[in-house]
A and B are shown apart, each in its own frame.
Chain A
């Protein structure tokens, strides 16, 4: 299969990006300054990420659409306000996760942002579940960029007046060069920021405007260290078809009211797991030394029994030390539990810790 390129490919190339294949796309992993500098710049100032490889699924329909989507997703879509977003999952009947996603209610329907590696399969599954009753398409004519970090609001508001009035996890349509762009106040770095859905032919000009105002391009490498410091899951690592939202410690994303009152895919499994507990659960892990425990590193307890596995591990530039997430057996998941990570044949001490590693600064109430 031919490797795909986003509409910002030329800009990445001109900015000396190092490319890597990710989910069938040639994506920038870093630019000249390297992952650590890019990471720190995002936390301190403002970084622009090309996330156009992600799926933008637009679904339009009448009030039955909301009802039908509620049979699929464990969120309260009926009471979701217009232009508000929720984090959710597409699950199989055993509550295994096909994908994690953001669903936003728009005029006449919903936008669902999907992971690049999952989007085609998600689209297929949703088409089947909704029996092709609705106008639904993965919109390849639009790009998606994120601007993240404390100065992002100022920079973006300079180009698009009014975005500063958006609250976290809400969005709206705005105009850029007389074309409609959809902006949400959201992101995946643990910083205040926005995601912008914009037509492919405009994205380069738009991005350049942000760069001229002081934002800098940031690659997928820093995106990964940023999201890991923020304790956020990455599909294919913390989440997959063999893990449930309850095991992933994402119960907060499941509507309480929906669990109690209504059916959705795997609602029985979810209900039962909440009641009975789960065997394994996602935790944060902080190595005591400098050792980095990568994905698949085995986790042992103090009696040398295998109790779990690391799902993501790296060096956290803002934490200034190694950090990891993984799954351990429930009884070893308490904060400050001492564990051992087997790296290159040696066991290194570490502690289970709370998430995030780095404290968020989302904007909740704009006056």
Chain B
């Protein structure tokens, strides 16, 4: 069974075994507007919880992407690099950013579940 959790930086992570798939939330895409460029972490690189793991740019501005948990990047989604518009149309499914091998599952505890995230994103406004 897979588990989906959310960060305060508006990333989601879906966990299957020791592999986590990470992307940005629908709420994040609504704040960003039309996404026109994305930069993803290299396969094989290590990323640290809450550290930098890429960039998304909308027509308006560039924003950093953070990883909600630490690990080694196993795969990145070339399809969204070639067509960043996919991130707006299907952010929490097809337009995942990267997959990582989770370093420490305990880091998941600090993340929010769906309900908590919805409340958080509503309260933090636009």
Contacts and interface: CB of A to CB of B under 8 A. Distances in A.
B37 A322 contact: yes
B79 interface: no
B37 A292 contact: yes
Interface string A309-325: 00000110100001000
Contacts of A35: 33-34, 58-60
A34 B37 contact: no
B57 A34 contact: no
Contacts of B62: 292, 294
B37 A291 contact: yes
Interface string B69-99: 0000000000001001100100000000000
Given A221-B59, A292-B57, A315 B37 contact: yes
Most buried by A among B33, B34, B55, B88: B34
B13 interface: no
Interface in A297-318: 314-315, 317
Nearest to A37: B34
A221 B57 contact: no
A30 interface: yes
B33 A30 contact: yes
A36 interface: yes
A67 interface: no
A72 interface: no
Interface in A278-301: 290-292, 294
A34 B88 CA distance: 11
Given A292-B62, A294-B62, A315 B33 contact: no
A34 B33 contact: yes
A315 B57 contact: yes
Contacts of A290: 36-37, 81, 84
A344 interface: yes
A30 B62 CA distance: 17
A29 B60 contact: yes
Most buried by B among A18, A290, A294, A344: A290
Contacts of B33: 30, 34-35, 221
A225 interface: yes
A292 B34 contact: no
B30 to A, nearest CB: 10
A36 B37 contact: no
Interface string B23-45: 00000000001101101000000
A326 to B, nearest CB: 17
B34 A34 contact: yes
A35 B61 CA distance: 12
Contacts of B84: 290
Contacts of B55: 344
Contacts of A314: 59
Most buried by B among A37, A292, A322: A292
A189 B36 CA distance: 20
B37 A221 contact: no
Nearest to B55: A344
9 contacts: A18-B126, A35-B59, A36-B85, A221-B33, A292-B37, A294-B61, A294-B62, A315-B59, A344-B55
Given A221-B60, A291-B37, A294-B61, 4 more contacts: A34-B33, A221-B59, A290-B84, A344-B55
What are the 3 closest A-B residue pairs judged by CB atoms, nearest first? A315-B36, A35-B59, A36-B34
